[in-house]
A and B are shown apart, each in its own frame.
Chain A
Amino acid sequence: MSEAKSRSSAFIEARDRATDYLVRRHYLRWTEALPWLVAVACFFLFPNRMTFGSQVLIMIMFALSLDLILGYAGIVTLGHAAFFGIGAYTVALASLRLGWSEPISGLAAAGVIAACVGVVVGWFILRYRGLTLLMLTIAFAAMLQESGNLRSDLTGGYDGLPGLMFDPLLGTFQYDLYGHTNFWYALAALAVVFYFVRRLVYSPFGQTLTGIRENVRRMHAIGSPVHLRLVTVYAISAGIAGVAGALFTQTNAYVTLTVFDFDSSAKVMVMLILGGTGRLYGPFLGAAVYMVLEDYFSKMSPTFWQFGIGILLVLTVLFARRGLLGLAEDIGGMRWGGRAADAAPRRLVWKPEHWKALGASAFDGGVLGFLVGFAVNMGHAELMTAYVTGLPAQVAVFTLGGAAIGAGINAFYLLLTSRSAVEGQAS
């Protein structure tokens, strides 16, 4: 009897904690002011880099739109640049062909048009998943780009539409050379969009999306109109991407068909993944870090930067699947939660399979070194169009070096993951 009672009170307590969480989770926390303070601080710290600053804000908005469908609803797309491009061309063409140069109403129009296209496209393609969906999104963006090129008399093709003019903001603020007006304009637009997205993801509608992402069959079973929900969020996301695209055109006064590039879709996804998906501030961190790194490294060497993106992606997938924000949380958790374990001495229990792992790493390192050695030699030979001597020696050095590095990394990894004495006995 008493056991049953205590169980039920524990149940009530647990339920209260659960409901508490649901009631409180959308409350504003003080940390949420940080990104905005940083943005304002950047304005005063780097007043000469504000053209770049507004580009960062635009990419944050674009990544935020992707987060809504990818992070919350689980729709994998490699063609989101389609809607960014639609928004970008809406304001460009409206200004150039219709003489509609008022910026804020232009943003709204771009958002509405992109959202309408999103409804139609989403209605057709969101019935599919996996590779089919991926291919359909790629095909849609590519078709828009090719049709744009077909009507290059209208769109300017890959040469673009330069020298677009827009009316002063709110009829009073002129655009300046340093992009100060543009920065505040982009920041204000981002704040409005962010407020909307935040409301959305904490609403019951946002909760349905997470449900669909986690278990679509169960959502069907409890009677949720899955397709309708997905199309709705797809359209909203398309609209936001359209607004970001329109801002892009307005702040650059220039647009080309490259906005529809596959690279552009892939880039925004990388930003989002880097920051962390399915969280509101992932796009902020991801886009800012990516843009700053790109600005720095691609000036140094575009090739080097491309290699950097590749490594960033591989490392993120292998070691930080929840992005930089997730990584920060993990490190924070380690510091506060892992103290007792850290205090205990580490002990590595050597097992036969460790030899095997070490050997495999050395082998892979060797293979990689062998290939790099060959590539270096071939590359030299190719550039000088002559056979470079010393091939065997060079390849041998690279192979042995690679093997040593591979084994070294493996040994380091073993030490790193070796359990502390206390934990080791427990497991």
Chain B
Amino acid sequence: MSEPPNRSNGPSDWSGVKLHVVTGKGGTGKSTVAAALSLALASHGKNVLLCEVEGRQGIARMFDVDQLPYEERRIAAGLTGDDGIPGNVYALHIDAESALLEYLAMYYRLGRAGRALDRFGVIEFATTIAPGVRDVLLTGKVFEAAKEGRRGKNTRQYDAVVLDAPPTGRITQFLGVNSELAGLAKMGPVKNQADTVMTLFRSKRTAVHLVTVLEEMPVQETADAIAELRGARLPVGGVIVNQVRPQDLDADDLAAIRADTVEVESLVSDLKSAGIEAGDEVVTGLLAEARDHAERRALEDAQRELVRGFDVPTYELPRLPGGADLGGLYELAAELKKQGMA
């Protein structure tokens, strides 16, 4: 990876996008990337909402705050831009039950009937058993948060909404659930709502970003998801390559290591000059690690080529050796901004 130009000050690749959906295979760090993206978007005084829908309270853990309720809450200052003004990141933990009750209250003014529905187990049925309803409710709330001209007290107009979405294997079904619903309910308010949601999701105001790591299965799954999203007419955003290994060795070094032509003597004298007791064990150990690293880098490069072939904007984030704590999230956010994603 040659050092890409710093684009922190230029326009972002997604400046027209309001709703950023972040998906990825399990284990690739999609929640981390969604959090970092929300921080990156929340600079220059912008207000960004980060939503989670999988009931894991991952946002609370990442940002080290108390468990989130079904309520928009400010959780962090965004990334400080060149103007020295950070924005605000708000968070919303969306659960289907609360979304349904809110929905019923908002659109149907079902006071007594709403409670009766709950008493008869309809709420439970709708949110756990009834096919697709859960996803309809979750996506419906995301839509409500992202739409223009929100009504109601305690609501805020956001500059961007970031959704930490279900994994790649389920994303097309999740986002497309409203079109399925529109097919099931052929008329009535549900169909109208479903159609409106699909209009936003399919528009240029939405981008579905995919997180991957440079390994065979996640890259393959990303390719499959891109094809599925396109097939469902959902807008594919960028690919974020996460957990990239350190790039400390250049191509020449890697070639020498693979060919086993490293000049051991000059390596030993270098190490000694830096104050390291370069015994056989240390040198053998370093070279063994280097060979292992070279092999992995070769595999990564092959996967990186495949990712380039997807023909969508790509961004790369380094693997943080200390893990993605709150400080790490800001580091990743700065990196996304530098590469033009935000």
A associates with B? no
A residues at B contact (CB < 8 Å): none
B residues at A contact (CB < 8 Å): none
